[in-house]
C-alpha cells in the first residue's frame, strides 16, 4: 500500500526562507525569550511562517498535562544519522496531540536489551510500541514485541505480524530519474551506495525503471558503486567523467555522495547546473547550501513517525505494509543550461 499524502510546509521550509537554523525557528515559535535571538531574526522567522502558512502540528509543543499512557519508541541507532531525530520528532508531535508521552530508547540492535525494555514497557502498561530501524530493512524483532500493540518504523516483518511503514524507495528513484529525463538528459549515470543496503538497491531499480519507461537503454558503464559518503561520490564521479562518453547527468543515491560528486566536478572544470546536472537523494540539511542548491528526493521520516502513532491510536487490527511517497525537491542542480558541453 503506497501513501501519497500532499507534502505540507515544514519547519525546514521556514528555516530556509528565513535564512536561519531549524533550532532558531523552534525557539522563536516556542516563545523562549531567554535565548539570545535578535528582534530582527524573530521578525524574519515570523514573516516566513506567515508567508508559507506554516502550522506546527499540535503547535509542536508538549501538552499542558501528560496523560497516564506512554508510547515506547525503540530504535537501533540515533547518533549515526540525522534521520532518527526527525522520526522521533514526528512520533512526539503526534503523541502530544493525544496527550501521550513518548519514551525513547536506543538499543544498538541488541535483542536481549530489546527484550528487557519490552518487559519494562509491559509492566508500565505502555499504550503501544514503535520498533524502529535507522536503515530500511527486514526486521527480526523479539517475540516479546507481539505482546504489545506495535508498529514497525522504517523496517518490515516478513511474517506480516505487525503494521509497518517504509519509504517508497523504488518510486523515489524513478521520479528522480524521470525529472532528469524531462530536462532533456539522456546519458544519466547512477552512483549507488553500499550494495548490501536495500535503499540503494531499490533506488537503482527505480532509476532503471524510469530509463526503460522512456525507452532509454540501461548502460551498465553508467552505473558505478559508491559508499553513501562524499569520498565514494567523488571517486565514482571521477571514474564516470574519465570515460570517452561522459554522462550529461549524475544521479547520486544520497546527498552525501552528491557532495563528493560536486567536488570532483569542480576539480575537472565542470559547472553543476550548467555543463552537467546532478540529482541527490535524502534532502539532508547540506543539500540546500551547496552551490547550486542540490535537487533531491525527500525522505519523509517525520511523516513516517506521525503515521506510526496514528496507526497505534486507530481501531485498525489487521497489519498493513505502508510505503510512503518520497517527494522531489527541485532546486537548481538537475538542469544543464549548456547542452553543447
- CATH number (1.20.120.420, 1.10.10.10, 3.30.565.10, 1.10.260.40) of 2-55 reads 1.10.260.40
- What is the pLDDT, as a whole number, of residue 1? 54
Q: Can you tell me the distance from the alpha carbon of 308 to that of 318, in angstroms, rounded to the nearest whole number? A: 14
User: How do the pLDDT tens digits run along the chain, 341 residues long?
Assistant: 554 444 567 777 888 888 877 767 877 877 666 567 788 888 898 999 999 888 765 445 566 555 668 999 999 988 777 888 899 999 998 998 888 999 999 999 999 999 999 999 999 999 999 999 999 999 999 999 999 999 999 999 988 999 999 999 999 999 999 999 999 999 999 999 988 899 999 999 999 999 999 999 999 999 999 989 999 999 999 999 999 999 999 999 999 999 999 999 999 999 999 999 999 999 998 998 999 999 999 999 999 999 999 999 998 889 999 999 999 999 999 998 765 55
- What is the pLDDT, as a whole number, of residue 36? 72
CATH architecture observed for domain 169-298: 3-Layer(aba) Sandwich (3.40)
- What is the pLDDT, as a whole number, of residue 14? 86
Quick one: 70-167+300-325 is in which CATH superfamily? Response regulator (3.40.50.2300)
> Based on the number of CB atoms within 10 Å of its own CB, is 36 exposed (0-12), middle (13-18) or buried (19 or more)?
exposed
Reduce the secondary structure of 171-224 to three states and give it as a string.
HHHHHHHHHHHHCCCCCEEEECCCCCCHHHHHHHHHHHHHHHHCCCCCCHHHEE
Q: Does 56 sit behind a cis peptide bond, omega within 30 degrees of 0 on the bond before it? A: no
Q: pTM of the predicted model, to two decimals? A: 0.83
- In the chain, where the domains are located: 2-55, 70-167+300-325, 169-298
* DSSP-H helix ranges across the chain: 11-18, 22-29, 39-52, 83-97, 111-123, 169-182, 198-213, 230-241, 255-267, 301-313
Domain 70-167+300-325 and domain 169-298, same fold? Reply is yes
Amino acid at each position: 500500500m503506497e501513501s501519497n499524502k500532499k507534502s505540507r510546509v515544514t519547519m525546514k521550509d521556514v528555516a530556509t526562507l528565513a535564512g536561519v537554523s531549524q533550532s532558531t525557528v523552534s525557539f522563536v515559535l516556542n516563545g523562549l525569550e531567554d535565548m539570545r535571538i535578535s528582534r530582527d531574526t524573530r521578525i524574519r522567522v515570523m514573516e516566513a511562517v506567515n508567508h508559507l502558512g506554516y502550522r506546527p502540528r499540535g503547535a509542536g509543543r508538549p501538552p499542558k498535562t501528560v496523560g497516564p499512557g506512554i508510547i515506547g519508541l525503540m530504535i537501533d541507532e540515533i547518533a549515526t544519522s540525522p534521520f532518527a531525530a526527525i522520526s522521533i520528532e514526528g512520533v512526539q508531535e503526534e503523541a502530544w496531540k493525544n496527550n501521550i508521552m513518548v519514551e525513547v530508547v536506543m538499543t544498538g540492535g541488541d535483542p536481549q536489551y530489546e527484550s528487557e525494555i519490552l518487559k519494562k514497557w509491559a509492566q508500565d502498561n505502555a499504550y503501544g510500541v514503535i520498533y524502529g530501524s535507522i536503515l530500511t530493512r527486514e526486521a527480526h524483532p523479539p517475540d516479546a514485541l507481539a505482546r504489545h500493540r506495535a508498529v514497525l518504523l522504517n523496517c518490515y516483518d516478513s511474517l506480516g505480524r505487525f503494521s509497518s511503514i517504509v519509504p517508497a524507495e523504488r518510486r523515489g528513484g524513478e521520479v528522480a530519474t524521470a525529472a532528469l529525463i524531462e530536462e532533456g538528459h539522456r546519458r544519466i549515470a547512477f552512483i549507488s551506495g553500499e550494495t548490501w543496503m536495500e535503499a540503494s538497491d531499490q533506488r537503482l531499480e527505480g532509476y532503471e525503471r524510469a530509463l526503460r519507461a522512456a525507452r532509454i537503454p540501461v548502460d551498465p558503464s553508467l552505473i558505478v558503486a559508491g559508499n553513501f559518503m562524499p569520498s565514494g561520490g567523488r571517486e565514482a564521479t571521477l571514474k564516470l567523467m574519465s570515460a570517452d562518453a561522459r554522462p550529461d547527468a549524475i544521479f547520486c543515491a544520497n546527498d552525501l555522495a552528491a557532495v563528493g560528486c560536486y567536488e570532483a566536478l569542480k576539480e575537472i572544470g565542470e559547472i553543476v547546473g550548467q555543463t552537467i546536472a546532478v540529482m541527490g537523494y535524502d534532502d539532508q540539511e547540506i543539500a540546500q547550501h551547496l552551490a547550486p542548491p542540490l535537487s533531491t528526493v525527500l525522505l519523509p521520516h517525520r511523516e513516517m513517525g506521525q503515521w506510526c502513532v496514528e496507526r497505534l491510536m486507530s481501531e485498525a487490527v489487521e497489519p498493513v505494509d505502508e510505503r510512503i511517497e518520497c517527494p522531489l525537491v527541485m532546486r537548481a542542480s538537475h538542469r544543464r543550461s549548456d547542452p553543447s558541453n
